[in-house]
Amino acid sequence: MSARITGRTRLAGIIGWPVEQSLSPIMHNAAYRAVEFDCVYLPLPVADETDLIRVVGAIRVLPFVGFNVTMPYKQVMLDLCDEVAMLAQMAGAVNTVHCVDGRLIGYNTDGRGLVDALRAELGFEPGGATVALVGSGGAAGAALVSLVLGTAAQVTIVNRTLENAEALAERIRPHARETTIEVVALDEGAEEVVRSADLVVNATPLGMHPGDDPPVPAGWMRSSQIVADMIYRPEPTPLVAAARSAGATAVDGLGMLVAQGATAMEIWCGESCGVASRHVMRRAAEEAISVRAGGECA
């Protein structure tokens, strides 16, 4: 946060339930100090949609530069914004909001964060690739949009509920000129889809809680394959551990978290802020994870 909070200090934050374990306040406040952005980033726990409406109403009249949105409100936030960027409309979810003169402008930076992280960490580009995308919610929508924009050859949505997967596919297909979008149920019939994919992406929350199984079995993955988990804890996530045991190259969602956070900063305070803050955000997040793993922080 700012070294000195004054009457001119702006506000930012993350809305969700729960948010006490979020790394976003640690990352953003470290970045704000580094680029001398006079702002404080706060965790904003909101227990239900009724309270969400109240909080968003208050934000309109407070000195907020913007805020992030996490589970379970990314899809609900679409209807609470005054304006929604096209990519967020396509994704069906908002995770970043810019506050401009009392108006709320919604964006989705998750998909760009995923692709940026894959490029930075693994040198992977989606162009021409086949992808198995597990999930059909807001995170999956964001990932699908960015994979389509990145000209992936084919994306197959793998989901327990085919109806939800098909709804997502139908929303994006009109924009997918160079990408074939298919759907398949998450059962034994999905094994070949996952095994043959160049990239496997987990866009579900499965793996965040103790005892969770990976969203797809280790036996479905193979060496020379890239696997990306959009969640970043525990370390390693069940999917990352399973993928590595199968010989695949796997990354968790920390790089994506940093990239989407830096993109949010670009929206709020200019492109140079976001570019300059990425390494600071990553270092702050890694230090926080190390402390928590050591039992010094609940």
Which residues are marked as active site? 74
Name every residue whose Cβ is closer than 8 Å to that of residue 79 and which is 6 or more positions away in sequence: none
Supply φ then ψ for residue 240, to 5 degrees: -60, -45
Phi and psi torsions of 158, nearest 5°:
-105, 115
